[in-house]
Amino acid sequence: MRGFRESLECDMVPERWTELIGPMVLLLADVCDALRLDERERASVLGVIGEEALAGYVESRSVSPAQRRLNERQTKALAHARYRGSINLGAYRQLCPDWSDETLRRDLVDLAQRGLLAKNGAKRGTYYTRAA
């Protein structure tokens, strides 16, 4: 705030708010949503540059699960499934003994959701094979 005031006092043109992009645009967009403004009202609050900045920011932050990179554990799980034909939590635990069962289970579920592994069985009998 002090810098803004000083720039006004020195007869300088302050930076436009849209140049602060991230937090300010998100804050204003949230306020617009909370006030239930329609698209026209929202556009008048954010302005063209604000709308573009918001769209660019949201697009840069939204990554589909298929676009995310595999972690090292998941790479090991896929290699094991390729070599052995399948993998279950017990085998995965032997490959990655320093990780909790819940983390390993989430890794396997994520691989299945990405379409890289196919889930077979249920509960304690769950195992994963290479997806067709």
- Single-letter residue type at 50: G
117-120 vs 86-88, strand pairing mode: unpaired
Helix, strand, coil tally for the chain in percent (to 5): 65, 10, 25
120, 127 in Cβ contact below 8 A?
A: yes
Phi, psi of 35 (to 5 degrees): -85, 0
pLDDT in tens, 116-132: 999 999 999 999 999 87
CATH numbers and ranges of domains, the chain: 2-61 (no CATH), 72-130 (1.10.10.10)
126, 119 in Cβ contact below 8 A?
A: yes
pLDDT in tens, 2-55: 665 665 555 555 455 444 556 777 788 888 888 888 888 888 888 877 777 777
pTM above 0.85, yes or no: no
